[in-house]
Structure 1
Amino acid sequence: METNGNDRAAPFRATIIISTSFQDHEVSRTFQAQQHRIRYSEFVENGTFIFPQSGIAFMLVSAQEFPENPEEAGLFERIKKFMQIHRNAFILLLASLHGKKEWDILSTIQHSFFGSNLRILPVHNIAEMVKGMLTITKATSKPYVVTVRDRMSLAQAHIIEHSLVWEMLRDMQFH
């Protein structure tokens, strides 16, 4: 979509369903400051953010609050329930620093949910967390997903058209 100097694309605004546990949290204030539509719900899992436009949900897990034994603490049960409800599920692993402990936590979650639809996004702070959620959501919601697909198709066509390997294969096929 082309614009002239006076036209500007409308900023991305998302509707977000947030657990009531984040009602007075910095992340909610950040979303509100960016003028996203916020709906609080006590019926969603604590620590979750749902973006209905794109069908994506995020669950915040803080490295500081990660229990010594997540199985016993019920964290993995919460994550399993979260994954059953949400097809496109992301865990936001929040840690200001990503040292050995944080990478061990990441590894533990990955091993426990290997082969599932769960994806993990390590983030350092609230601003990075919000930016990551919005980037993923925007890239997967209409009309942006159509634009991304079109650009990927153009890139693929360009690569094939200018690839030496494809050129050699075409030459071999004609001979």
Structure 2
Amino acid sequence: MDAFWRTTPLAAMTPAQWESLCDGCGRCCLHKLREDGTGRLHHTEVACRLLDVSSARCTDYPNRRARVPDCLQLTPAMVEEVDWLPPTCAYRLVAEGRDLPAWHPLVSGDPGSVARAGVSVAGRCVSERRAGALEDHLRRWPGQWPRQAGPKPPAKGRPA
């Protein structure tokens, strides 16, 4: 039997399936800046104040939207619209008709595989509580596919 992410469109996934797609990398929890006028997106190494920078886990996931008003609840429709999801994001990969990479916990069976593949922000970011000006923390890596993560899975034309 094929894995659910290969056969089930994002919008038809159960809440448990949807949540399990998240690899826990924390990249979406890093602040981004958008240039006025051009709309160009810039990534930073600055994490939301709720993100534990050593583990890349939200310290209050169930209440995050109440505690951080600009925290977004990702939906299937949003995946199609936003341009800030990292290239490694499983929601983005599935929406593009791609398979999950070997390091994704649903494939590897090991949540630690995300960090070993260089995808996790754990130990690579700074909390917004300590950062100061976001402009001082611009980085390219959050918006890039890490070399050690292997190649990006090819598109296979599965339903989004």
State the TM-score, normalized to the length of structure 1. Answer: 0.23
Q: Which structure: greater helix fraction?
A: 1
Structure with the greater relative contact order (CA < 8 A, sep ≥ 6): 1 or 2? 2
State the TM-score, normalized to the length of structure 2. Answer: 0.25
